Amino acid sequence: MQDAQPQGQTALSVRWMIVPAVLMTLAMVVFPLAYAIRLSLGGPGGASVSTENFQRLASDPVFWSALRITFGLFGMALVMQLVLGTALALLLNRYDVVRGLVRTAILSPFMLPPVVVGMVAIVVLDPGLGAANWVLQALGLPPFLWLASPQWSLLVIALIDTWQWTPFVALIVLGGLQSLPGRVYEAAEIDGAVGIRRFWHITLPLLGPTLLTAAVLRSVDLLRFFDVIYITTQGGPGNSTTTLNIYAYKLGFDFMDVGYASALMIALATIVFGSVLFFASLRRKVAW
């Protein structure tokens, strides 16, 4: 598009067309956000403004455990998805197979409702009658408690999410791979860089910006993780899968502790926003 206007023609202005979307955003996003901040600052017994809810956060052991669990899940799932997604993308790039059954297999998991994923996990990962333990036994391994295990339930949740989202990461990385300049590879070949060395010193650094994009997209979802946990473990066993989002939902809707839940959600929103800013600051480092 060019900016030049035909002579004698008044410039077409369609700025007003954004107004309905802005009104919607004001009513459903900005106002509720301000309201949530107001709720979080509500003091006890009608005191107008108080930071009591935020002080309570600092001394709440469940908050700190939920914070650790949120970051634990985020770290485990993000690393697995980026590593496996990149590996899958390299395979898909090498063998041009993204069509038919393979394409369906790649797209289906992440377009599936997370609730359905959780429901299937309940049935497949049942410690007593689930198909997963049967597979383990067939391989001569001992059965596993899966989501019922206090130590491993978080890892199992991370694995479920990795199953669902690795293909998404792979598609993004595949796009990055296909846009890499071929000249670099020709030069590398002349220099004798092949196999692992070529991947490590050439492909991976060039993929930096793409991997960062994938990391940002997954981080935003992982830090707010809710659906699959709420369906399968509801934060248990104990508090072993109680993420910040799960804890805030329970506080707000099960215990009706509205002010405190709002404070928690504002803390989480700050964490999500902060991590996106962190990734944005990395962007310059990986640019080429």
Of residues 51-90, those binding other proteins (CB under 8 A): none
Considering only 23-31, 53-61, 79-87, 145-153, which stretch makes contact with other proteins by CB under 8 A? 23-31
Which DSSP string do the residues of 237-254 spell out, in sequence order?
A: STTTT--HHHHHHIIIII
Of residues 257-276, those binding other proteins (CB under 8 A): 258, 261-262, 265-266, 268-269, 272-273, 276
Least Å distance, CB 55 to other proteins, is 20
Which of left, alpha, beta for 66 (phi over 0: left; psi -120 to 50: alpha)? Answer: alpha
Least Å distance, CB 103 to other proteins, is 6
* Inter-residue contact 223 to 279 (CB < 8 Å): no
Considering only 12-20, 54-62, 74-82, 150-158, which stretch makes contact with other proteins by CB under 8 A? 12-20
* Residue 275: closest CA among 244, 248, 250, 251: 244
Start-to-end CA span in the chain (Å)? 27
Of residues 122-161, those binding other proteins (CB under 8 A): 122-124, 128-129, 131, 134, 137
Residues near other proteins (CB under 8 A), total: 94
* Residue 107: closest CA among 149, 54, 166, 63: 166
- The tally of CA atoms less than 13 A away on the side-chain side of residue 285 is 7
Least Å distance, CB 194 to other proteins, is 8
Which amino acid, one-letter code, is at 160?
I
For position 281 contacting other proteins by CB under 8 A, the verdict is no
DSSP state of 82: H
Considering only 43-51, 54-62, 144-152, 176-184, which stretch makes contact with other proteins by CB under 8 A? 176-184
Least Å distance, CB 49 to other proteins, is 17
Considering only 51-59, 78-86, 146-154, 251-259, which stretch makes contact with other proteins by CB under 8 A? 251-259
> Reduced to 3 states, what is the DSSP secondary structure of residue 5?
coil
Binding test (CB under 8 A) with other proteins, winner from 79, 87, 115, 187: 115
d(CA 230, CA 250) in angstroms, rounded, equals: 10
Binding test (CB under 8 A) with other proteins, winner from 53, 81, 242, 245: 245
Binding test (CB under 8 A) with other proteins, winner from 47, 83, 87, 112: 112
Q: Which is nearer to other proteins, 151 or 228 (CB)?
A: 228
**Residue 248: partners with Cβ closer than 8 Å, 6 or more residues away:** 261, 264, 265, 268
Q: Which is nearer to other proteins, 124 or 188 (CB)?
A: 124
For position 210 contacting other proteins by CB under 8 A, the verdict is yes
Considering only 42-50, 56-64, 79-87, 225-233, which stretch makes contact with other proteins by CB under 8 A? 225-233
